[in-house]
């Protein structure tokens, strides 16, 4: 992806985070949130990770690229294992889903879905109080991510409660 297209996509994510999340759900995300419907809001992070107040939900947004030798299926398995790890450790208030990324086709100049990049949303990511959470399950999903993908760009955003 050209730096110009990536810059445009990144700007859109930052400026229109809530609209992106809504349209991602409406267009049929690649992965569906699992578990009970979470409550709104997230507690502020302590210390050096303190975030400004958010009137809605904090989310990590990652533009991710499938690497040579990796697969979209392997990446989506990592996402499922990631959410599964949180559920298995008692975290029920977060959501993770993946949305298709639209890019300009160089030949037609029309928007098409990228074949090797996606945008992942981790809404209300739990803060684990300094714990790395490092265990066999953690290693499993991290290794699946590493085997299949690289994070191109990452943002922390506030999705407004009223959107």
* Neighbour count for residue 7 (Cβ, 10 Å): 12
Kindly state whether residue 40 falls inside one of the protein's structural domains. Answer: no
Write the pLDDT tens digit of every residue in 92-104.
999 999 999 999 9
Grouping H, G, I as helix, E, B as strand and the rest as coil, residue 156 is strand
Where do the DSSP E strands lie in the chain? 56-66, 95-104, 111-123, 149-160
- Which CATH number do you get for residue 10? 3.30.70
Decide if 124 contacts 21 (C-beta within 8 A): no
Q: pTM of this prediction?
A: 0.68
Write the pLDDT tens digit of every residue in 115-128.
999 999 999 998 75
Most confident of 10-19, 64-73, 82-91: 64-73
Based on the structure, what is the number of domains in the chain?
Answer: 1
Kindly state whether residue 19 falls inside one of the protein's structural domains. Answer: yes
């Amino acid at each position: 992806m050209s730096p110009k297209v990536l810059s445009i996509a990144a700007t859109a994510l930052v400026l229109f985070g809530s609209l992106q999340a809504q349209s991602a759900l409406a267009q049929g995300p690649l992965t569906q949130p699992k578990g009970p419907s979470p409550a709104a809001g997230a507690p502020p992070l302590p210390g050096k990770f303190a975030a400004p107040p958010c009137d809605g939900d904090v989310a990590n947004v990652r533009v991710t690229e499938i690497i040579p030798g990796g697969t979209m299926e392997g990446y989506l398995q990592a996402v499922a294992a990631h959410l599964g790890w949180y559920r298995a450790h008692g975290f029920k208030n977060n959501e993770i889903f993946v949305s298709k990324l639209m890019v300009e086709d160089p030949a037609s100049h029309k928007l098409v879905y990228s074949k090797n990049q996606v945008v992942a949303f981790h809404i209300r990511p739990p803060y684990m109080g300094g714990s790395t959470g490092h265990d066999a399950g953690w290693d499993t999903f991290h290794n699946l991510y590493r085997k299949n993908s690289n994070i191109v760009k990452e943002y922390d955003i506030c999705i407004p409660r009223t959107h």
